[in-house]
Amino acid sequence: MEIRQAATRDVKQIAQLLEQLGYPTTIERLHQRIKVIEAHPNHDIFVCETQEGIVGMIGLNTGLFYVQDGSYVQISALVVDQNHRGQGIGKKLLEEAEQWADKKGAAVTTLNIDKHVEHRTPQQFYTKMGYERESIFFSKKLTEPPHE
């Protein structure tokens, strides 16, 4: 099992993982997103690769606090292939995210769980990993995203 930075060559397998998370996309759109992320120093994607291929991914970005000094890292996406859950892959990806956050000088890592995730498994996992529920998240669509 190897955790490494994602590359555009991983796009097909990352798309399959994102679909499991409830975010279907096209290979072409995801390829463009990954190219933008690769060029941006405050964003990154890491994948977990085994002999079977890419079995997990985590997307990260940094931000600045307004109410205190310092920065944070937002975990934008974390998914482990449904056939590989319970093997410590999510834990390894979170550890990589925390190391990346430390290198960026971030004081905190944050994440949110989307409302379409009905089951409690992600909440239990994050709690086990030391994360605490601290806020309620709101969003408002300003434009309709392009149809995948």
pLDDT in tens, 6-64: 998 999 999 999 998 888 889 999 999 999 998 999 999 999 999 999 999 999 999 99
φ/ψ of residue 115, rounded to 5:
-65, -25
What span, in angstroms and rounded, lies between the C-alpha atoms of 5 and 39?
13
pLDDT of residue 40: 92
Location of structure tokens 């971030």:
106
Q: DSSP string of 34-83?
A: HHHHHH-TTEEEEEEEETTEEEEEEEEEEEE-SSSSSEEEEEEEEEE-TT
pLDDT of residue 120: 58
Q: What is the pLDDT of residues 63-96, one digit of tens each?
A: 999 988 999 999 889 999 999 999 999 999 999 9
Look at residue 51 and tell me if it is in a domain.
yes
pLDDT at 115 over 70: no
pLDDT of residue 124: 77
pLDDT of residue 127: 78
Look at residue 41 and tell me if it is in a domain.
yes
Look at residue 141 and tell me if it is in a domain.
no
Look at residue 28 and tell me if it is in a domain.
yes
pLDDT of residue 71: 92
Look at residue 133 and tell me if it is in a domain.
no
Query: The pTM is what?
Result: 0.83
| Number of independent structural domains in the chain | 1
pLDDT of residue 145: 67
Closest among 32, 35, 16 to 24, alpha carbons compared: 16
Look at residue 123 and tell me if it is in a domain.
yes
Q: Which domain holds residue 62?
A: 2-128
- The CATH number for 80's domain is 3.40.630.30
Q: Work out the pLDDT band at 148, boundaries 50, 70, 90.
A: low
Look at residue 106 and tell me if it is in a domain.
yes
Q: What is the pLDDT of residues 116-134, one digit of tens each?
A: 565 556 777 777 877 777 7
User: Is residue 77 within 8 Å of 18, Cβ to Cβ?
Assistant: yes
Look at residue 147 and tell me if it is in a domain.
no
User: Is residue 75 within 8 Å of 110, Cβ to Cβ?
Assistant: yes
